[in-house]
Amino acid sequence: MKIKLLLFLFTLSVFVGCNSESATQQDSSPSISTIDSTLELAAKQYEYLGSQIEPGEYPKTYYDERDELETSGSGWWCSGFYPGTLLYLDEAIDAPHLRKRAMEVMKDLKKEQYNTSTHDLGFMMYCSFGNANRQQENEQYEEILMNSAKSLATRYQDTVKAIRSWDNASWNKGEEGDLVVIIDNMMNLELLFWATEHSGDSTYYDIAVNHANTTMENHFRPDYSSYHEVIYKENDGSVKARITNQGAADESAWARGQAWGLYGYVMTYRETGDEKYLEQAQNIADFVLSHPNLPEDKIPYWDFNAPNIPDTYRDASAGAIIASALFELSTLSEGEKAEYYYENAVDMLSSLLTPKYLAEEGENGGFLLKHGVGSLPGNSEVDVPLTYGDYYFVEAMMRYKDSKK
């Protein structure tokens, strides 16, 4: 009898212990109330941020040490993130005053639909007008998006089968007769996929797929880390050089570059259904998540091979992009892989929600996330908030909420 009682108590203790551990693991995930309160904080921050800029200005970053907000004009590659974040926040918490503000900003931004000098029209126009049209279809938005896609398509070069990223200039190590492609350009393909779906013209789809294929063939190392920049010879499409312009070294894994590649191939699989893009996205995700230099809180250093790790900068913007991409990748994957990507996305989002990265109300010049890195080699936007970090952070929170429905 005593032996049976001891066995019962032991079994009960194991059962309680396991359930306690399970409860602890569940409690480590953000509550929906935490997400909602953070979105409310975001609305207040962005309302303040909007009060600090004049018409035609777009917030870029904020320098706390000198209390200085840096802005840009509509032609800067980040111009779509500010109105896009406002639209996301209205969608998330019903904040019509923020949507109204976004509409005011986009009256100025719409002129960029004819800008053929940049590959970043996806960032600029799809994150803004694309979201607006997704939320409420509008013929004017659709016309602007189609014109934007036409402008982006002018940068496609059929010999290389890729979209020109940067125009030739000495600072990007390109020369006359070269075509420069950066990994960031994967993000702009979503605009082209939309254009084919909307118009029925497969030209845009074909350009997007060709660019994705060329990038997959030439931008990635055997371990699925990515170079930042590939320089092609325009006359024959051959690779002239592979470099990492904004990373620690040409052979290093610049964190935001890995984020753009991951997000880009997740999106490309969603839009095409071609399994090779899913496999590519999973391989990139596995590289990131298994990297020995990924910190315990899973917010990456600005470069996975940066010197002086751990005594160097984190990049919360890369963390936000990766987290958002992983949430979607988990819905497109199956079994243990789906669970693995989801759990890591939750871990990253949980870290971003802590005071280490998330500003309090009235801090950070109105931005949300601290500790972003634009270009450390260029000494530009180092350890500061960034509009794209905020945009993908809000998107990640929304995707997390959707996963709980």
The torsion angle over the Cα atoms of residues 180, 186, 190 and 196, rounded to 10 degrees, is 60
Q: Which two tokens stand for residue 280?
A: 């590519």
Beta-carbon contacts of residue 100 (< 8 Å; ≥ 6 apart): none
Measured CA to CA, the distance from residue 405 to residue 27 in angstroms comes to 17
In three-state form (DSSP H/G/I as H, E/B as E, the rest C), the secondary structure along 286-354 is HHHHHCCCCCCCCCCECECCCCCCCCCCECHHHHHHHHHHHHHHHHHCCHHHHHHHHHHHHHHHHHHCC
- For the purposes of burial, counting CB atoms within 10 Å of the CB of 350, is it exposed (0-12), middle (13-18) or buried (19 or more)? middle
Told to judge if 120 belongs to the known catalytic residues of this protein, a careful annotator would answer yes
Measured CA to CA, the distance from residue 182 to residue 242 in angstroms comes to 10
Pairing of the two strands 178-182 and 229-233: antiparallel
Backbone angles phi, psi at 272, to 5 degrees: -110, -30
87: Cα separation from own chain's centroid: 16
3-state helix, strand, coil in the chain (%, to 5): 60, 10, 30
- Helices 335-352 and 387-403 cross at an angle (nearest 10°) of 130
One-letter amino acid of 100 = K
Among the listed residues 184, 315, 347, 390, the single catalytic one is 184
Residue 182 near residue 228 (C-beta atoms within 8 A): yes
Among the listed residues 27, 67, 90, 120, the single catalytic one is 120
Give the count of beta carbons closer than 10 Å to the beta carbon of residue 252: 18
Told to judge if 236 belongs to the known catalytic residues of this protein, a careful annotator would answer no
Residues designated catalytic: 120, 184
